[in-house]
Amino acid sequence: MDANAEAICCEIEGKLGYPCFVKPANAGSSVGISKAENREGLIDALNNALIYDSKAIVEEFVKGSEIECAVLGNDNPQASGVGEVVPCNDFYDYDAKYNRGDDSVICIPANMNPALAQQIREYAIEVYKVMDCSGLSRIDFFCDKSTGKIVFNELNTLPGFTVISMYAKLWAQEGLAFDALVDKLIDLAFDKFASKQRKY
């Protein structure tokens, strides 16, 4: 290991400790994500993430349930109810999503206190607005249900629309069927395009 790599590992260990998660900066479907339990695992995880991107993100391990919320809209976004992922693996990695999807459990609505679920919906809209999103995004959180602590995890600007994907399922739970959801997204895209053409 060269001096630069040694310094990077020492900094990560000092700030985050183990376990920690390493992921490509720009990717989806949990491709290239690893959980590092020690120095050797950290090096392997960094090398794996850098196969998929020129930058890697290292995150502190957060104990909590994985909670997801779908947001839809342009200037006045709306949040769906919240769903929960219970992965069949140690975390919701690519294998747990696509190779063993039937073994993982998707709970819609999430099994949690309604007030806590409402707080997550409000946070999701705040994140959406702060990041200047339009059309759609899925906002993911970690939640310790025993303490009520909510931690923002990530924003998915183009969430999946596969048969196992949470985004459309969350809106279906709200009464917005898949075809109607697609129609709404097309309308939002036209509206966003029109707003960019305005002259003042």
Domain residues for 53? 3-60
If one compares 18 and 98, the residue with the highest pLDDT of the two is 18
Q: What is the CATH number of the domain that holds 47?
A: 3.30.1490.20
What's the Cα-to-Cα distance from 191 to each of 108, 112, 124, 136, 179, rounded to whole Å?
30, 36, 22, 13, 19
Res 3 pLDDT > 80: no
Q: Within this chain, do residues 33 and 119 fall inside the same structural domain, yes or no?
A: no
What's the Cα-to-Cα distance from 48 to each of 11, 19, 34, 45, 102, rounded to whole Å?
19, 16, 8, 5, 26
Q: Within this chain, do residues 89 and 186 fall inside the same structural domain, yes or no?
A: yes
Please, which pLDDT band fits residue 199 given cuts at 50, 70 and 90? Answer: low
Q: Return the percentage of the chain with pLDDT > 90, whole number.
A: 76
Q: How much is the pTM?
A: 0.86
Q: Within this chain, do residues 39 and 112 fall inside the same structural domain, yes or no?
A: no
Give kind and range of the element (H or E) at residue 115: helix 114-130
Examine the fold and report which residue of 37, 60, 83 is the final residue of a domain before the chain moves on: 60
Q: Within this chain, do residues 48 and 138 fall inside the same structural domain, yes or no?
A: no
Res 56 pLDDT > 80: yes
> On the CB side of 6, how many CA atoms lie within 13 Å of its CA?
3
Q: Which two tokens stand for residue 1?
A: 């290991």
